A and B are shown apart, each in its own frame.
Chain A
Amino acid sequence: AQSVTQLGSHVSVSEGALVLLRCNYSSSVPPYLFWYVQYPNQGLQLLLKYTSAATLVKGINGFEAEFKKSETSFHLTKPSAHMSDAAEYFCAVSQTGANNLFFGTGTRLTVIP
């Protein structure tokens, strides 16, 4: 079975501060891991994905995530938050044999000016 846990349904950071959104996965085989962002009243947009190549994955808008097998984690980070980063962020996992992505419950990021 596979699942994703996102710690913290709401995260607030000051503009310019580090962004850290946590994601832990459960998977019986090596997973593929994704971060999606959802801006208000919009669909989901892919930020980045891990597909067993480099463990540190760089995505759009300055975000990156590191796959840590020993910690079963795939936390999303950005060195300096911007007001435009305010959105909901979803971590997702898939694996060989699966027909779809399994999503976490999301983390809403608020950026304080």
Chain B
Amino acid sequence: GAGVSQSPSNKVTEKGKDVELRCDPISGHTALYWYRQSLGQGLEFLIYFQGNSAPDKSGLPSDRFSAERTGGSVSTLTIQRTQQEDSAVYLCASSLIKAQSGNTIYFGEGSWLTVV
């Protein structure tokens, strides 16, 4: 597709359930990022993938959070045993190469997660 695609756009889940959020980056982009945006907060970096390299997981808030990227393209962010504080917008982004060279990062429209 033309842009970063995320699904679902909205998800309401019960506390304690697992959720999976999907991201389809822009074709040809080797770098993929997940960010979390909580109400009234800025964007919090979660995880970064670059090609076949080991991902940078330094932003994951707990071991309930994990992500994978299959075939260097589609990525799935999984949150296990969801808690109410996990309620947020989860934004996926991609870029041609990583951000360090000032490359533009393109964002999807986000997956709005509500844990009740």
- Are B42 and A106 within 8 A (Cβ)? yes
Could you tell me if A45 and B107 are in contact, using CB atoms closer than 8 angstroms? yes
| Pairs A-B, 5 closest by C-beta atoms | A51-B102, A32-B102, A105-B42, A43-B107, A103-B43
A98 near B100: Cβ-Cβ < 8 Å:
yes
Chain B residues near A (Cβ < 8 Å): 4, 33, 35, 40-43, 45, 48, 50, 56, 59, 91, 93, 98-102, 104-110
- Whose C-beta in chain B lies nearest to the C-beta of A32? B102
Please encode chain A, from 42 to 66, with 1 for each CB lying within 8 Å of some chain B CB and 0 for all others.
1111100111100000000000000
| In the bound complex, CA of A51 to CA of B41 (Å) | 26
- Chain A neighbourhood of B33, CB < 8 A: 100
Do A43 and B104 form a contact, CB below 8 Å, given A99-B50, A99-B56, A103-B43?
A: no
Contact call B99/A98, Cβ cutoff below 8 A:
yes
Contact size class for A? 20 to 34
How long is the Cα–Cα vector from A100 to B91 in the complex, in angstroms? 13
Residues from chain A with Cβ under 8 Å of B99 in the complex: 32, 94, 98-101
Nearest Cβ in chain A — how far from B87, in angstroms?
16
Closest to B3 in A: A43
Which A-chain residue is minimally distant from B45 (CB atoms)? Answer: A100
A113: CB under 8 A from chain B?
Answer: no
